Amino acid sequence: MIRYAIPLAIFLGLVAFLAIGLGRDPREIPSPLINRPAPQFQLPQLHQPSKSFAAADMRGKVWLLNVWASWCFSCREEHPLLLKFARSGAIPLYGLNTKDKRADATAWLEELGDPYVLSASDLDGRVSIDFGVYGAPETFLIDRDGVIRFKYVGPLTQELLDSKIIPLARELNK
Amino acid sequence: MADDLELEKRVNSLSLELRCLVCQNETLADSRAGLAVDLRNQIREQMKAGKSDQEIVAYLTARYGDFVLYRPPVRPSTYLLWFGPFVLLLAGLVVLFRYVSQRRGLIASAPLSSQERARAEQLLNSKSEKEIA
């Protein structure tokens, strides 16, 4: 019996490794910015370029920063959810419009609806790089001291909002 | 002109050591993704501003983590990645070695009795006759 136990044990070990490995997303890159201060930035507002929006403006509030663009296909997927979420007013939602022509971006919001309190124009993508953005849409939850507490790459889901984002925001708002 | 060429060479050689986060199997030098172009431009700018390769790598890893390095750094968290295959190879060789010496032990400790030897010869001879015929 012992003879069979060893290969069986090795096999089971392999199965365990494979099961864990296959369950993960190989494309996901863990962000080094979690629990670090969000990059400081000051950008023109999308709809009112003469006004600016800075990360520092949001001190004292817990807020969501959603990175989006009109050329981003997946952003369309999460858009209805964002509209619904914004209406609920649970957490203030701000947009970071990355590498987009102003006209394209405003037309996109016109067509699909604007869930954001406001969007900032990151025309050359510098600020997005500072946030470690590599695939829009990406969403950051930032706390009252300007520290990034949560980051998600990809279209948001209701499940994610309910299970992670909203509870965390509630914690941070205490 | 020569300066530009030097700069480009430097940008290229550093980009070869970095990963494109979008096309994750490609280096930053090879990838045509928008982000890769932007990051190469960033690298070029920073090099022009006099930053060293190390400083630029630190800038990128602060934002994207170790994954932006094409070669995983050798750290306690990656020891398994770097040394694992050799450990497994060694373990395999040890098992093989023990198996072979165990087998050799078995064979050596049980020489044929004269009866068994006679039977063996009979079998061998009859087999070769069959083959000739």
CATH number for position B46: 1.10.8.640
Does residue A28 have a pLDDT over 90?
A: no
- pLDDT for A150 equals 94
Please provide the average confidence, as pLDDT, over all residues in chain A.
92
- pLDDT for A114 equals 94
A101-136 pLDDT tens trace:
999 999 999 999 999 999 999 999 999 999 999 988
Number of domains in chain B: 2
Please provide the average confidence, as pLDDT, over all residues in chain B.
87
Q: Tokens 């390095």: give the residue.
A: B69
Asked if the structure places residue A9 within a domain, the reply is: no
Cα separation, A97 vs A114, in Å, equals 12
Tokens of B69: 């390095």
- pLDDT for A135 equals 87
CA distance A108 to chain B (A): 20
Are A143 and A121 spatial neighbours (Cβ–Cβ below 8 Å)? no
B34-87 pLDDT tens trace:
899 999 999 999 999 999 999 999 999 999 998 899 888 888 888 988 999 999
Contact A129 B63 (CB under 8 A): yes
Does residue B126 have a pLDDT over 90?
A: no
CA distance B117 to chain A (A): 31
- CATH code for the domain of A113: 3.40.30.10
CA distance B131 to chain A (A): 39
- Choose the closest CB to B21 out of A29, A30, A32: A29
Decide: residue A56, CB within 10 A, 0-12 exposed, 13-18 middle, 19+ buried. Answer: exposed
Tokens of A40: 């400081």
Q: Which residue of chain A comes nearest to B66, CA vs CA?
A: A32
- C-alpha distances in Å from residue B21, one per residue of A17, A63, A108, B70, B91: 25, 26, 26, 10, 35
Q: Are B123 and B81 in a shared domain?
A: yes
Cα separation, A81 vs A45, in Å, equals 23
Asked if the structure places residue A1 within a domain, the reply is: no
Taking alpha carbons only, the member of A72, A66, A54 closest to residue A92 is A66
The domain in which residue B110 lies consists of 76-132
Does residue B130 have a pLDDT over 70?
A: no
- pLDDT for B108 equals 66
Q: Are B56 and B8 in a shared domain?
A: yes
The domain in which residue A85 lies consists of 29-173
Cα separation, A41 vs A127, in Å, equals 7
Q: ipTM for the complex? A: 0.78
